[in-house]
Structure 1
Amino acid sequence: MNVHECVSFLLIDQQQVLLETRSMEKACDPGLICIPGGHMESGEKQLDTLFRELEEELAVKPESYRYLCSLYHPTSELQLIHYYVVDAWSGDMKALEADEVNWYAIDNAPVSIDADRIALSEYQRLAATFSQRK
């Protein structure tokens, strides 16, 4: 089975995380509540994907970001998702590809996939080190 690499981003603001409700027309995980992100294009590096997907999905540009972890997500394809924490951005945020985006408390975020739950737990485990680096 081919592995499809993806980049997802935890936009964090005051102990809240931005999640998307995926369109029912998406090939992977339609209608689920997830951490936003997307597939890496051929020859693209993770940071290139991070910047491109933030612009395509939310119309924002990251100003402060850090790598968090990489996790496998078996869906209709096997994905390797590289998660980044984005705690500062510029632009007027809007849902361009998802049905909607909403802020949720990090410790009670209703994510629908296991990889996203693990990534949120990892963020909470390392939250103190992320805030020290700012």
Structure 2
Amino acid sequence: MEVHECVSFILVRNNTVLLETRTKEKVSDPGAIAIPGGHMEMGETQHETLYRELEEELNIKPTSFVYLCSLYHPTSELQLIHYYIVKNWLGTIDSLEAESVDWYSILNAPVATQADRIALSEYERLKCQTIFNSNY
């Protein structure tokens, strides 16, 4: 089975996370509440995908981010999602591709997929470590 690599971004503000409600027309996880992200293009690095997808989906540019983890997500295709924590960015968030984007408590985030739940749990588990508390 072919693996499709993706990059997802966990935008954090205080104790909240930005999640998208996917449009019902999406092939993967239609209508689901999810951590935003997108597919890597041929020859693109994870960081290049992160910058491109943040601009395409939310109209922002990250100023600090750190890699969190990579998880498989079986949907209409097998995805390997590389999750990044984005704590600072330039621009005003605007939902350009999703039905909507909203801030939710990290502890009670209503994400629809197991991979997103695990990623948010991993963020909570590691957030007390220096790497997540420094200016990255």
The two structures have a TM-score, normalised by structure 1, of: 0.98
Separation in 1 of the partners of 2:124 and 2:95?
Answer: 25
Letter of the 1:63 partner, please give it: T
What's the counterpart of residue 126 of structure 1?
126
Tell me by how many angstroms 1:92 deviates: 1.3
**Letter aligned with residue 30 of structure 2:** P
Within a 5 Å distance, the mapping from 1:86-97 to structure 2 comes to: 86-97=86-97
Which whole-Å CA distance do the structure 1 matches of 2:128 and 2:63 have between them? 19
CA contact (8 A) 2:126 2:132 kept: no
Q: Does residue 64 in structure 1 map to residue 64 in structure 2?
A: yes
Q: Distance in 2 between matches of 1:25 and 1:132?
A: 38
Distance (whole Å) between structure 2 residues aligned to residue 80 and residue 119 of structure 1:
12
Corresponding residue number in structure 2 for 1:110: 110
For residue 78 of structure 2, what is the aligned residue in structure 1? 78
Residue 128 of structure 1 aligns to a residue whose secondary structure is: coil
Shift of 1:133: 2.1
| Alpha-carbon separation, structure 2, partners of 1:9 and 1:131 | 14
Aligned residues: 134
Deviations 1:25-45 (A, max 9, x none): 111110000000000000000
Letter in 1 for 2:47: L
Distance 2:132 2:99 in 1: 31
**1:37-59 CA-partner distances (Å, limit 9, x unpaired):** 00000000000000000000000
Counterpart-to-counterpart distance in 1, 2:13 and 2:84: 14
Query: Deviation digits for residues 48-103 of structure 1, max 9, x if unmatched?
Result: 00000000000000001000000000000000000000000010110000000000
- Residue aligning to 2:20: 20
Question: Contact conserved, 2:51 with 2:61, CA < 8 A, in 1?
Answer: yes
Counterpart of 1:71, as a letter, is: L
Deviation of the 1:23 alpha carbon? 0.5
Contact 2:54-2:60 within 8 A present in 1 as well: yes
Once residues 88 and 128 of structure 2 are traced to their aligned partners in structure 1, the CA distance between those partners, rounded to angstroms, is: 16
Q: Which runs of 5+ in 2 are unaligned?
A: none
Normalised by the size of structure 2, how large is the TM-score? 0.97
Which has the larger share of helix?
1
CA distance in 2, matches of 1:128, 1:89: 21
